[in-house]
Structure 1
Amino acid sequence: MKFEGTATYVATDDLRLAVNAAITLQRPLLVKGEPGTGKTMLAEQLAEALGARLITWHIKSTTKAHQGLYEYDAVSRLRDSQLGAERVHDVRNYLKKGKLWEAFEAEDRAVLLIDEIDKADIEFPNDLLQELDRMEFYVYETDETIRARHRPIIIITSNNEKELPDAFLRRCFFHYIAFPDRETLQRIVAVHFPEARQRLVEEALEVFFDIRQVPGVKKKPSTSELVDWLKLLMADQIDESALRERDPGKAIPPLAGALVKNEQDLQLLERLAFMTRRASR
């Protein structure tokens, strides 16, 4: 069982090695990197490549670890008991299975994505240590232990919003997805837009990297934003000359709202354009 990437996902050699190492070690793969570098898509494409079921657990700031195991709806059971409902006698009717439970009871080996784990409380990763280590957990309401039929392949993503505990990190195989170089970006673009004009792609990449390299940019455009921008350029039939021979009086390139996502960066680019115009006089 080896991951080699897919027709729609460009995986570098380092990333392929990391995925296959985590599978061999039977450890969760912790993936970090800039937003938009394909961390979440990795799990989706891995499941597709292996023909496995994908189970996704999106983490929010309010998410608790026990929700990944199960939740017991005591309020509904109390209401049903007051109404004399027959289902009240079986506590299983009030257990909502979490994503880990789903992955553990899957008929075949599944891919479990724990997406953006750093959004949760700092104790969240530690609260999952035993379950991820032993591949089992105890259900108090039914006095039973749920064990994984097949150990799932676990992909955990993080945007580095907060540090993760050392005890949790020791149990993971770690990989940082570095921002793609120009050649890799060209391959990614070719996957999404095989019919794109090469000159348009080259000029768009020039503009894209120019914006990323501007000192002080708060939100650098990501790979996914480059793809969105190129899609707009092609839909509006923007010629590469509009990118290559930009009017120095214009602050930002056409349709730059796909690349620049906050007013601070817009103002920064406008100031730089103003300074350029002043220097050219």
Structure 2
Amino acid sequence: MTDTGGVRGTPVPGDEEWRLFRGDGEEREVALPPAPPWRRFPRTTRATERPYLIGGREADVVSAALHLRRPLLVTGHPGTGKSSLAYAIAHELRLGTVLTWSVNSRSTVQDALYQYDAVGRLRESNLAREDDEPGLGIGSYVRLGPLGTALLPTAQPRVLLVDELDKGDLDLPNDLLTVFEEGEFEIPELARLPDSQTTVAVMTFDAGARAVLARGLVRCEEFPVVVITSNGEREFPPAFLRRCIRLDLPDPDEDKLRAIVAAHLGEAEVAGMDELMAAFLNRRARGELATDQLLNAVFLRMGGVSLDADGLLDAVLHRLGGTV
């Protein structure tokens, strides 16, 4: 048996049990086995109930941000649970579905606040005029984004996840400052409407939901719980950092890793994972690895899969940094 990091696995089961894909070009009926718990997508929004473990110091920092109504800027290596923290907060505090804004190089605060489909409205108005039918109101062409929806006045705050802010434009953090400080914004297209249309029902980021706005103004009652993640790819302006509570999530140690595996896969899996844990920690010391890679390895071993064969362990516990 080949040595691949000191992990002994059981022999690979027969093709029918393990090799779902054989690469032989033959068609066959295959029943996929159950997915790992963290890769299941239920129809309801209660997927936030996945286990999330955090240290007491980190929990105190989160609580400080909640008390101060300040955005929480979360940094750490990939796989340390930065994004999952937003879902854990929403679940524990019963704050509903998380509003997610995944930032990229083209992201703007404007799009995160709202979008107005002027072209669609013009097209539909022309069609309605041709058919001699009343067109849809302007509210059907305005949709609040995740940030705009988070700022709606509600008795309980919403949780807003601003994911990977450091991937955005250099000016994006500064553009957020005014919104974060004032807790409101205006939609000019609605503010300019005549007095006969002072209130308009617009679409929100929540599927199928609408919100009634007066004069196009959105103003929060409770500042949303804002969780901003960063991979540390660049520094943010001091003015932005001053308005955030910073939390750096450390790589979990061996005890925390065992607790995470137990929470996701059960205590029984922890007892027999010494060699796999040693291999993971050894590889992590030489390069970036994420906690969910260890979960993947343990889950495969649960199914009786040998992680020694044909470099499978290398495929699962591959380095995240550097050249692939």
Counterparts of 2:168 and 2:65, CA distance in 1: 23
Backbone CA RMSD of aligned residues: 2.5
Query: Are 2:74 and 2:227, in contact at CA under 8 Å, matched by a contact in 1?
Result: yes
Query: Are 1:110 and 1:152, in contact at CA under 8 Å, matched by a contact in 2?
Result: yes
- Unpaired segments ≥5 residues, structure 2: 1-48, 192-215
Aligned equivalent of 2:222, options 137, 144, 150:
150
- How many residue pairs are counted as aligned between the two chains? 246
Counterparts of 2:241 and 2:281, CA distance in 1: 33
Q: Which residue of 2 aligns with 1:101?
A: 148
- In structure 2, do the counterparts of structure 1 residues 264 and 145 end up closer, same or farther at CA, with 3 Å as the change threshold? closer
Give 3-state SS (helix, strand or coil) of 2:273's partner. helix
**1:137 has 2:185 as partner:** yes
- Unpaired segments ≥5 residues, structure 1: 1-5, 243-249, 267-281
**1:113 has 2:196 as partner:** no
Counterparts of 1:26 and 1:263, CA distance in 2: 34
Report the TM-score when normalising by structure 1.
Answer: 0.80
The structure with the largest helix share of the pair is: 1
Aligned equivalent of 2:111, options 64, 67, 73:
67
Taking only the aligned residue pairs, the percentage that are identical comes to 35
- Which structure exhibits the higher relative contact order, with contacts defined as CA atoms closer than 8 Å and separated by 6 or more residues? 2
1:86 Cα shift? 2.9
Query: Are 1:116 and 1:158, in contact at CA under 8 Å, matched by a contact in 2?
Result: yes
1:150 Cα shift? 2.3
Q: Deviations over 1:216-242 (max 9, x none)?
A: x4xx21111111111112212549xx6
Q: Which residue of 2 aligns with 1:56?
A: 100
Which moved further from structure 2: 55-64 or 116-125? 55-64
Counterparts of 2:139 and 2:318, CA distance in 1: 50
Query: Are 2:105 and 2:168, in contact at CA under 8 Å, matched by a contact in 1?
Result: yes
- In structure 2, do the counterparts of structure 1 residues 97 and 87 end up closer, same or farther at CA, with 3 Å as the change threshold? farther
Moved over 6 A (4+): 262-266
1:81 Cα shift? 3.2
1:118 Cα shift? 1.2
Q: Which residue of 2 aligns with 1:40?
A: 83
- In structure 2, do the counterparts of structure 1 residues 141 and 212 end up closer, same or farther at CA, with 3 Å as the change threshold? same
- In structure 2, do the counterparts of structure 1 residues 262 and 137 end up closer, same or farther at CA, with 3 Å as the change threshold? closer
1:40 Cα shift? 0.8
Query: Are 1:233 and 1:255, in contact at CA under 8 Å, matched by a contact in 2?
Result: no
Query: Are 1:61 and 1:119, in contact at CA under 8 Å, matched by a contact in 2?
Result: yes
AA in 1 matched with 2:229: T
Q: Deviations over 1:112-153 (max 9, x none)?
A: 111111111111111111111111011111113210132211
Counterparts of 1:115 and 1:46, CA distance in 2: 15
Report the TM-score when normalising by structure 2.
Answer: 0.70
Counterparts of 1:262 and 1:38, CA distance in 2: 15
